[in-house]
A and B are shown apart, each in its own frame.
Chain A
Amino acid sequence: MTARILVADDSINWSKPFCDFLNQRGYHATSVAKGNELFTSVLNAPHDYDILIMDNSMPEADGEQEIPYCGVRILGMLVAHFRDHTVPPALLDRVIVRSIYSKQDINSLRNEADDLTELGCSQVALWFDRSIPLDELMRAVNSLCTPPLRRE
């Protein structure tokens, strides 16, 4: 079964080539560039994706207030939204988060990721380096596809 991957990253310099690469490798990948696009994509089609690969620092704004670390926060909002659903979106259980921030931010991100795990995201992989070797990233993607994906 072809894994459907949603790539959420504000850097189209990376997300577009990466999606094309995934598609060439037999996955079905699509990308979004903003936090609100990620949110609405999953909200509108919760079962269209199996895996989420996201950048933690996508531009997003909530009125006057900018939301720092919005990637993980939006993930938290999605988890909260689908908490009472009998069949939550599969991608909320298979998440790879990339972040390039400093140690202080990493600690904060780690805490938020722990909260997500408690909320029910059983597989949240955090990467604190944008320059993840491609092999490692693909191993992480493959491991999220094992055991084989099942869809409702």
Chain B
Amino acid sequence: MPKRNSADNPPDSPRSLRRSNDSVGVDQMPQISPYLELVNQILADVASSYDADISTLFRVSNDRTRLYLEAIYDSKGVVEIEGTQPYKLEWPDPQADQRQHHGVTCWVAEHGEALFVPSLNDLRKHVAYSGTGAWDTKLFEEPEGVDDPQLGFGCFYAVPLRTGEGLPKDKVIGVFKIERRRHKPIFDADERKAFDLAATSISRTLQMYLSTATSLRRVLSEAAHILRGRLADSNSVIEMCLQLLGQGDSEIVYAYARDHLPRAESLLRTGCRRIERVLEAYRVEQFPADFNLEDIVAAALEAGFTDQNRCQTFWEIPRDITLRLTSIQRYDLETVLLNLLRNADQHSKTDEPVQLHIRASESPPIVEFEIIDHGEGVPKEVVERAQAAALSGTEEEALLVVRGGGTGLRRVYRFAEQYKWDVVHDWPQNGGTTFIVKVPNEEESRS
């Protein structure tokens, strides 16, 4: 990254003055979320490397030199991020011959390409302004309009925030934009390069934000579904105990409590554990962290088996190895493991325990979980249906509608698809089913 010599910019130059103002604003910015903190850090780093006027994000309001995230979307609508100016973009009908644009920001989002508008005349002539309504005309009115001889439109640079290659509608999540008044210096090549770089990094950060926000909604919905049942059931058992206690026959109460209270206690305990994990997933630290593998396995075993003797665990690596995951990924990995373990238990003979092997490879760095049952095995059609449903995205509805019928397996494949984990299955000749889950644990996946 080029680093300019400070001698290139005398202390009283506009660039130096702007940077001086910027340093005040950084500390005053509200700390909204780790994602926006990271966005700020990206901006600060890029600005520092390129000596670019890039750290004015969210702060300069009276001066028309400003930079902001103007539109953030996901597939279902606008994602509100405090400190940004979100609005919904009506994506054009691909069948339509002509499209009326509603400003340059929308044009950039729809086309998925960066746009530099060097002057007011270019702005007037741009197709993005054709066919716009009265609100646009007002932009040019004096004295505050863009026609102002001193403070009016100088130049404009907008970069789409992309989450990858592909159609803008699917991949563009926002626009990263700067406008300058006439008395401000025009963008130079380095500064434009800096904006492009910052926009790319911010795209990645916001993608993580969107993914986390979506996952959090799912985690809460699932937890609500499961917890309602567990808590209601355990509460009912306690109520029944108390009612029987009211009858006064201690032998009956004792027998009833002996038969049913341990299960109610277990339901409550695992319910509380799940609440803890949901709360943990909701904590601010949504960036990848090192999670102890033994804890993950222990949680999956506890939730997967009423009788943990039903599972033999073989550690082929040290137990204190860590996996770098976000807290949501950790939660979902537990879900993957417990669903495979439950499946294996369900399809195993009663006298043959399920086997769980935990191993790792260094090149490529992968942690591997192998779950083996020696029973009748999971039917092939159930596995195939689960894979197909996970890929087609229809499993959410099924999850909410009815339990059973391979729903757990669908979630396994769905999470594997989402996080690029590898799930391999096999039906060995000596019977049963083998599932192997491979989770990357490399530096690249840690970033």
Q: Contact flags (1/0) for A98-109 with B, using CB distance below 8 Å?
A: 001110000000
A68 with B233: CB separation less than 8 A: no
B256 with A21: CB separation less than 8 A: yes
**Chain A residues with Cβ under 8 A from B232's Cβ?**
14, 100, 129-131
Q: Contact flags (1/0) for B258-287 with A, using CB distance below 8 Å?
A: 011001100100000000000000000000
A89–B264 alpha-carbon span in the complex (Å): 34
Q: Say yes or no: A131-B235 contact (C-beta < 8 A), given A13-B267, A20-B259, A24-B244.
A: yes
Chain B CB within 8 A of A31 CB: no
**Chain A residues with Cβ under 8 A from B229's Cβ?**
11, 100, 130
A20 with B256: CB separation less than 8 A: yes
Q: Out of A11, A21, A67, name the residue touching B233 (CB < 8 Å).
A: A11
**Chain A binding surface SS class:** loop
Chain B CB within 8 A of A133 CB: yes
**Chain A residues with Cβ under 8 A from B398's Cβ?**
66
**Chain B residues with Cβ under 8 A from A129's Cβ?**
232
- Residues 236 to 258 of chain B near chain A (Cβ within 8 Å): 236-237, 239-240, 243-244, 247, 252, 256
**Chain A residues with Cβ under 8 A from B244's Cβ?**
21, 24
B401 with A68: CB separation less than 8 A: yes
B233 with A14: CB separation less than 8 A: yes
Chain A CB within 8 A of B186 CB: no
A21 with B403: CB separation less than 8 A: no
Chain A CB within 8 A of B131 CB: no
A57 with B243: CB separation less than 8 A: no
A13 with B233: CB separation less than 8 A: yes
Name 14 interchain pairs, CB-CB below 8 A, sorted by A. A17-B237, A17-B259, A18-B236, A18-B240, A20-B256, A57-B401, A57-B403, A59-B402, A64-B385, A66-B398, A68-B402, A130-B229, A131-B231, A131-B236
Closest 4 CB pairs of A and B: A59-B404, A131-B232, A130-B232, A68-B401
